[in-house]
Copies of this chain bind each other. A is one copy, B any other.
Amino acid sequence: MKMDKSTGEILRENREKKGLLLRQVAAKLDIDTAILSKIERSERKATKEQIIKLAQILDLKEEDLLVQYLSEKILYEIKDEELGQKALKVAEQKMKYMNKNNSND
């Protein structure tokens, strides 16, 4: 599981590998080329729907791309936080706890 590349980098690499133009992929996503350009350079975030479509278009495993995308969203949330690391750990604990006791809810 490669953790070094950003979602944007992955998208660009794979688009180029397929010889597709920004214009072409953007059209399939029904957005302006400019946005896709920004997404690939991590200047903007994609939406979940766009990620799903992109996985299809670029023949990537949807789950992998989504996990990558979501993890970036999480990090974005705490990127400026001293306590980010601690908060992440606690979040994981809570998550486990929730899943253990998810009988109701």
Chain B residues whose C-beta falls within 8 Å of the C-beta of A74 in the assembled complex: 74, 77-78, 87-88, 91
The chain B residue sitting closest to A74, CB to CB, is: B91
**Chain B residues, Cβ within 8 Å of A66:** 83, 87
Which residues of A64-105 are within 8 A (CB) of B?
66-68, 70-75, 77-78, 81, 83-95, 97, 99
Task: Give the secondary structure class of A's interface.
Answer: helix
**How many chain A residues touch the partner (CB < 8 A)?**
31
Interface pair A70/B81, CB less than 8 Å apart: yes
Flag whether A30 is at the interface (Cβ < 8 A).
no
Chain A residues at the B interface, C-beta cutoff of 8 Å = 1, 3-4, 63, 66-68, 70-75, 77-78, 81, 83-95, 97, 99
A-B CB contact pairs (8 Å), 24 listed = A1-B90, A3-B90, A68-B90, A70-B77, A70-B81, A70-B83, A70-B84, A70-B87, A71-B90, A71-B94, A73-B78, A74-B74, A74-B77, A74-B78, A74-B87, A75-B94, A77-B77, A84-B95, A85-B95, A85-B99, A88-B88, A88-B92, A89-B92, A92-B92
